[in-house]
Every structure is written in C-alpha cells, then in structure tokens.
Chain A
C-alpha cells in the first residue's frame, strides 16, 4: 500500500533560519504525483506544490524550494529565511489510482508542525 512518512513531528527554528521538512514515500505505481500542503492555524489546507514522478527537477518558488529524489523516494521541502507566517503544519501527500477509470486519491503523511520563533 501507499505510505508517506514525515519523521519530524515538530520543528522549531528562529526567524530567518533555513529549515527543511523531510518526506519519504512508498508506492507501487510507476506514475504518481507528490504534493505539499500547508495548514495554518485557521485550519484550511492550502495547496503548495505538485510534482510528477517523471519530473525530478528541483523547483523554487520565492523562499520555498523542493527537492525530489526518486532514487531515495524523497520529496523534501526547504524554507529559506523563515518568517513567523511560515508557522503551520505541513503535510506531504502521494497520489494513488483508485479506479479502473484512473481516478486518484491522496495519501497523507502525519504532518510536521513548524514553529518559527520571532
């Protein structure tokens, strides 16, 4: 079965430090998607990024960057120069095909609570 492991339950860093959130996954599918979501204190999950299993290029969006390594089944997320507004729970997720028509669902990790200390 699909599995997503986020070994870091909680992380605290001082503002402006860099921080990396780890994500390791297991899948039998040859084609899949990986995601990161942010859940701020308000509760709504906010989509951050989607990565296709065939595309191992790293991606950067402002202070956020993602490192996808298929050889180690990892999809890590780095925040550079962290800010207090980055405080949230971050979830990594993996797609899985669930029907003969190709419909998919997401399997989530247990999340990492990130606290940025001012």
Chain B
C-alpha cells in the first residue's frame, strides 16, 4: 500500500520562526504536493513537484517555499511564520503523470498553530 508520512501531527510555533514541515513517501512517487486545509475553503494547493529538485507554485504559494533534494522527501518551508498560516497541512503523492493512473495518496496531516 501507498505510504505518505508527515513527521509531525501537531506543531506550535511563534510568529517569525522558520518552520519546516516534512513529508516522506515510500512508494516511488514522482509527484508530490502540499495542500493546506481551512474550514470553509477546502484544500488549496501550495506547491508541487514532479521531479527531484523541481518545484512549481500552486494556487497560494505566498509565504512558503519547498525543497525536494531526494525523490522520497518533500519539505514545506515557512520562511517567517505568521498567524494566518495557522492551518492543517496535507502532503500527498502519486506516481506517473496522470491522476487517472494513480490517484493522490495523502499523509495524516500536520496541524500547525502559529502564535
């Protein structure tokens, strides 16, 4: 079975801190995605990557960056955390180009609180 693992379930950080959210997959996924989930807004795409060292902006990239040095690891970075980045962050991955061949598989999520 597909396994996408997010290293932290809950995080509490202070405004201005640099925050790293880690995601690891063990299913040889080429594609990896970071979404944030907020009540009433659903899931919104922050960044994605479909190859090592490759990254593309999603719909709401402001205030975030990502790193993909190895195929299995995709990190989301909040350069200077702000309270409006308090949210649930979900990592996902899939194999191949088309979602028709391989649906997205999600991790358990990281609930980040910025105080």
Binding site for B on A (CB under 8 A): 4, 6, 9, 33, 35, 37, 42-45, 47, 50, 52, 91, 93, 95, 98-99, 101-111
Contact = CB atoms under 8 A, between A and B. Distances in A.
B84 interface: no
Given A50-B99, A95-B100, 20 more contacts: A9-B40, A35-B103, A35-B104, A42-B108, A43-B111, A47-B105, A50-B103, A52-B100, A91-B43, A99-B50, A101-B50, A101-B97, A102-B97, A105-B33, A105-B45, A105-B58, A106-B33, A106-B104, A108-B42, A110-B41
A44 B106 contact: yes
Given A101-B97, A110-B40, A45 B90 contact: yes
A104 B98 contact: yes
B93 interface: no
A105 to B, nearest CB: 6
A104 B43 contact: no
B9 to A, nearest CB: 8
Interface in B45-61: 45, 48, 50, 56, 58
Nearest to B43: A108
Interface of B: 31, 33, 35, 40-45, 48, 50, 56, 58, 88, 90, 92, 97-100, 103-109, 111
A6 B88 CA distance: 20
B104 A33 contact: no
A98 B56 contact: yes
User: A-B pairs with the 10 shortest C-beta distances?
Assistant: A110-B42, A45-B106, A108-B43, A102-B97, A43-B109, A108-B42, A95-B99, A104-B99, A44-B108, A47-B103
Contacts of A52: 100
Contacts of B48: 98, 105
Contacts of A35: 99, 103-104
Contacts of B103: 35, 47, 50
A3 to B, nearest CB: 11
